[in-house]
Amino acid sequence: MNAETAQATMLGTLEVVPIDGPVGAEIKGVNLANVDDVTYRQIRQALIDNLVLLFRDQEISDAEMVAFSRLFGELDMAPPQENGLQAVDGLPEIMVISNVKENGVPIGSLGDGEAIWHTDMNYQEYPPLGSALYAQEVPPVGGDTGFCNMYKALDALPADLRKRIEGLSIKHDASKTSGGYLRKGFEEVSDVSQTVGAVHPIIRKHPESGREVLYLGRRLNAYIMGMSVEDSEALLDEIWSYTTREEHTWHHQWRVGDLVFWDNRTVMHRRDSFDAGSRRIMHRTQIADRPSA
């Protein structure tokens, strides 16, 4: 272990312990059920610095999770689940990620399979600035969540490739979830240049850090505007071949009570599959990044 990266630092009353890897820090000394404004500012700074924050041993209700998330800004409502249901009565901000079924109906999204690398809601005009994911039940093995540092991914691109993608934009398909399920109301995509979804520059400037960052969204049905489909596919494959390398990623093994908060503008994430016979229940909020009216 690198002594420098493992060094804990104090940010006000917070203890920030960087994860021994390319992204993430554990934050100690906070009860997320009760975060004051000063602590919130420190957490936000830690998020900008570390991109993914892990808070262990939290005991919070859905309403407390919403209240904590709201410190960061307005919340986006949970996107439609593949079954078209609203997961938590009275709290449309909470998205349930779960394989558990009640009376044969899944209580949440994404099932038990792999979720491919993605950023949340990249197919919207204003994707969330961040998401919080809170573990209520976890399987004994599997279901780990990986995070990819997209600053490092951008830095890893060869100079000529980086030049070729300057000024280009990707259209981000809205039809499929990261678990590969077709969203309610969408059709299978046959021509990626014709998908429905938002267009974003491949290289974006992070509004808080001021740094340039690679923004890929997800590979499935992505399309680089203005290119033939063949050229777009080839260029996307080339970019992706440098992106999700081990040296850019950290994989989190969940414990009940973990809350992980990621900067959705600077990381992609994915999830391992897990045994269909075990239960996994996660609750998520997503903080909006819309320009104020």
By CB under 6 A, the residues from 171 to 210 that bind ligand OGA are 178
Closest CA to 168 of 111, 226, 218: 226
For residue 181, which amino acid is it? Y
Of 203 and 282, which has the nearer Cβ to ligand OGA? Answer: 282
**Nearest distance from C-beta of residue 37 to ligand OGA, angstroms:** 27
Residue 269 touches ligand OGA, criterion: CB under 6 A: yes
Cβ contact 14:23 at 8 Å: no
Residue 145 interacts with which of ligand OGA, Mn ion, none, CB < 5 to 8 Å by class = ligand OGA
CA distances from 25 to 22, 43, 253, 286 (A): 10, 11, 14, 20
Please identify, using beta-carbon distances, which residue of 120 and 173 lies nearer to ligand OGA.
Answer: 120
Where on the chain is the footprint of Mn ion (CB under 5 A)? 120
Residue 52 or 157: which CB sits closer to ligand OGA?
Answer: 52
Binding test (CB under 6 A) with ligand OGA, winner from 54, 133, 148, 259: 133
- 221 binding ligand OGA? (CB under 6 A): no
- 131 is a contact residue toward ligand OGA (CB under 6 A): yes
Q: Are 22 and 154 in contact (CB under 8 A)?
A: no
Please tell me what DSSP assigns to residue 256. T
Smaller CB distance to ligand OGA: residue 137 or 238?
A: 137
How near is the Cβ of 120 to ligand OGA at its closest, in Å?
5
Binding of residue 145 to ligand OGA (CB under 6 A): yes
Pick the binder of ligand OGA from 111, 150, 284, 288 (CB under 6 A): 284
Identify the helix (H) or strand (E) that includes residue 238: helix 229-243
Q: Does 93 bind ligand OGA (CB under 6 A)?
A: no
Question: Which class for 232: exposed (0-12), middle (13-18), buried (19 or more C-beta within 10 A)?
Answer: buried
Token digits of residue 112? 């038990």
Total count of residues recorded for the chain: 293
Which residues make Cβ contacts (< 8 Å) with residue 118, sequence separation at least 6?
A: 178, 217, 218, 268, 269, 270
CB of 139 to ligand OGA, least distance (A): 11
In whole angstroms, the minimum distance from the beta carbon of 284 to ligand OGA comes to 4
What does 133 interact with, of ligand OGA, Mn ion, none (CB < 5 to 8 A by kind)?
Answer: ligand OGA
**Chosen residue from 200, 218, 248, 271 binding ligand OGA by CB under 6 A:** 271
CA distance 249 to 243: 9
- How far is Cα 271 from Cα 118, in angstroms, rounded to an integer? 10
Taken in order 10, 38, 41, 54, is the CA torsion positive or negative? positive
Q: List interacting residues with ligand OGA (CB under 6 A).
A: 97, 115, 120, 131, 133, 145, 178, 269, 271, 282, 284
